Amino acid sequence: MNVNPILGTKYWIGVASRDHVIKGVQGGFAQLCHGKKTSLNKMSTGDWLIYYSSKSSLKVNTPYQKFTAIGRVVDSNIYLVKINDDFMPYRRNVDFIRCKEVSIHPLIPNLSFIKNKRYWGYPFRFSHLEICAEDFELISSQMKVT
């Protein structure tokens, strides 16, 4: 995929279990950091988001460790959704693109946002991070985005 960086465009990674990513892709939305608004506020219309899933399911601890979805922020609308009385997450509209999931492992040596290759999972601890256009290009090209 040729990113052709546009001035002001940012590139992000969101961290969520694969089952939650699939719900977002099917619904056309991003939900980050357990539904908090702060991460969504950092993104702008036209920014790109790649999801990384360390697990296949929130309830399963088996490692998955793949990039699972990619999309572009559609608009500036951040909205609240009532799931139940105890959980009301914020979401943002994203146009997801058809892609294949890819393991992070072969990419680790070439990703600049991973400073310590031995402890490669460290950057994902806050569930949302900005990456450079070159890292985005590397990941998206492996996901076979066209």
For residue range 50-97, what is the model confidence (pLDDT) as tens digits? 999 999 998 888 999 999 999 999 999 999 999 998 999 999 999 999
82 assigned to some structural domain: yes
**Domain encompassing residue 92:** 11-142
Cα–Cα distance for residue pair 55/62, rounded to 1 Å:
6
* CA proximity to 106, closest of 138, 133, 134: 138
Looking at residue 29, which CATH number applies to its domain?
A: 3.10.590.10
pLDDT at 7: 61
4 assigned to some structural domain: no
Number of domains in the chain: 1
49 assigned to some structural domain: yes
Measured from the Cβ of residue 67, the count of other Cβ atoms closer than 10 Å reads 22
59 assigned to some structural domain: yes
2 assigned to some structural domain: no
5 assigned to some structural domain: no
* CA proximity to 9, closest of 49, 57, 40: 49
